[in-house]
Amino acid sequence: MERKDFFDRADSPGSGLEGRGGDERGGAAAVSCVGAGREKRLSSPEKKLRVPGSVSSFLCFLPMSRKKTEASRRYPAGFTLIEVVLALAILAVTLSGLLLTYVSMFVLTDMQRDHALASNSLLARLEEIRAMDFDSIPAAAGPFNLTDYGFPANRSSRGRVEVTTSFSGYPATLTKVRLVASYATRLNRTVGEDRNFNGALDVGEDVNNNSRLDSSAEVVSLVAK
């Protein structure tokens, strides 16, 4: 009953949607639709057309949507030249930063690997010194080859042992052993002050002026009697 009353109101005068029978052109029914300042007539060939007001509004909107679609096809949207150049510039900067990070990661990895090899060689030499007789430890002072303890032989390297038997603050039953390694990395960078890899401190090699060889690969230990 409510549905019938709804359609009756939709067909009443002044509702914006009026069914008319008996059109002059073959008696077809028509629906009057006023939208965007002009009247549109939607013909139904056989009977009176009764539609809710929401559908009528949608039908009135169709011609306007069609015109917008035709306009968008005629003038397709796109990017300006400035927008394209700006996007390419941002992309280039981002990719350059990522590439630099990638290369730096490999460099740091190689340096850390070489440092680990040199440190392991020093520790292996230190274990030999600890196994010696206490009174024979001072004879171990001097240069030695890192390649004898696992460092790659295809790169320049040299180690040095310094033994201190008399120093303040420690009893005579302790000996201080210091081992330093100087080597060339895979990127031909020299680590340590021994630039010519002869196991001795030469003129111009003492960068920090402490009268001894220094390096980032260094091991210090106290050996008891």
Global pTM exceeds 0.85: no
End-to-end Cα spacing for the chain: 114
Assigned token pair, 83: 């927008």
What is the helix (H) or strand (E) element at residue 93, kind and residue range? helix 81-131
Q: Does the pLDDT at position 221 exceed 70?
A: yes
Which pLDDT tens digit goes with each residue over 55-71? 445 445 445 555 555 55
Measured CA to CA, the distance from residue 109 to residue 95 in angstroms comes to: 21
Would you call 58 helix, strand, or coil by DSSP?
Answer: helix
Q: What is the mean pLDDT of residues 32-52?
A: 46
Range ranked top by mean pLDDT from 36-40, 120-124, 161-165, 185-189: 120-124
pLDDT grade, residue 74 (50/70/90)? low
User: What would the mean pLDDT of 151-168 be, rounded to a whole number?
Assistant: 88
Lowest mean pLDDT among 2-6, 108-112, 190-194, 200-204: 2-6
Reading the block at residue 2, the tokens are 């409510």
Contact status, residue 176 vs residue 137, Cβ threshold 8 Å: no
Residue 148 structure tokens: 């004898």
Q: Is the pLDDT of residue 40 over 80?
A: no
Q: Locate 145 and state its tokens.
A: 């080859």
Which of residues 165 and 62 earns the better pLDDT score?
165
